Amino acid sequence: MSKYSCNFSPDRLLLDARKCLDQKEARLSASVMFQNRKLIIATKHQKERVIAPILERELGVRCFTDKSFDTDLLGTFTGEIERKLDPVSTAREKCLWAMRLTNCDLGVASEGSFGPHPSLFFVPADEELLIFIDLKNNLEIIVRELSVDTNFDVKVVTTADELTEFAESAGFPSHALILRPSKNDYSVVVKGISSRERLLTTFQQLCDSFDAAYVETDMRALYNPTRMKVIETAASSLVSKLKSTCPACQMPGFAITSATRGLECSLCGAPTHSTRSYIYACSHCGFEKEALYPHNKTTEDPMYCDYCNP
């Protein structure tokens, strides 16, 4: 037999062709599922500026907003209206509420949270959550984007110099500020301050009445370009997740949900803290799949082994 000959199986060839066709159809169904459908972006803070172009280009949807929709009713960053739900529930309620008001079966909403980074202590972080809801296909996709690229900060100031120093560190005037008497005093809340004259005038008025002022960065997206960039990154992550289809049901949203540690040490074979596999799961049907060695290595350097390098 020639070294160039091979075993030819018509049945196997047909099976491979069918498999390729099924995969192609799955990708095609994911790409046309949202084509030319209207999608409401639940926002009053101009987040559509960064979300809409990505969704329209990648999914073929037609995005719109409703100016009468007031997301502040579900809570404000400054706290005068308390957010009673957790971020996911708040984003979901925001999205469904906007969808009901506009009689639209496709919607996106976002919710931001600011505070210390969960592992980099004393480092401020911005966590942006985006939720995508498709009532027609009973689909809900959620993505999170955690970033240390934020100007989130607050301070009690008593002099104009202190205020100016805070403003400069916060990226003022491209990033707006908020002034009020104190952390828990909402009797006077001046938002969206983006001019030095208004900043100093408002500060002086508060000092005349309260002897000090509480200054904070305005984290509303339209007044915070840094936050807007994180939302844009989250929108790209959302598209990537929507384009990842489940091998079992071909629905969008097949993505990493967890990671397992235990990559073996190349010297002693003991499990290390390095990632051994990712777990992919479908948010629609619940199908799961383990992908081994996501970083293209089957063992870890002994320097990361607790036994070899304690």
Question: Which sequence spans correspond to the domains of the chain?
Answer: 11-152+221-243, 154-218, 250-310
pLDDT tens by residue, 223-242: 999 999 999 999 999 999 99
* Cβ neighbours of 33 (radius 10 Å): 20
pLDDT tens by residue, 75-85: 777 777 777 88
Calpha distance 141→209 (Å, rounded): 48
Calpha distance 72→172 (Å, rounded): 24
Which fold, 11-152+221-243? Maf protein (3.90.950)
For 134, residues 6+ apart whose C-beta sits below 8 A from its C-beta are 33, 34, 105, 106, 140
What value does the mean pLDDT take over residues 170-180?
97
User: For residues 55 and 73, which has the higher predicted lDDT (pLDDT)?
Assistant: 55
Res. 9: pLDDT tops 60 = no
pTM metric for this prediction: 0.82
Res. 254: pLDDT tops 60 = yes
Radius of gyration in angstroms for the set of CA atoms belonging to the chain, rounded to a whole number: 25
User: For residues 84 and 24, which has the higher predicted lDDT (pLDDT)?
Assistant: 84
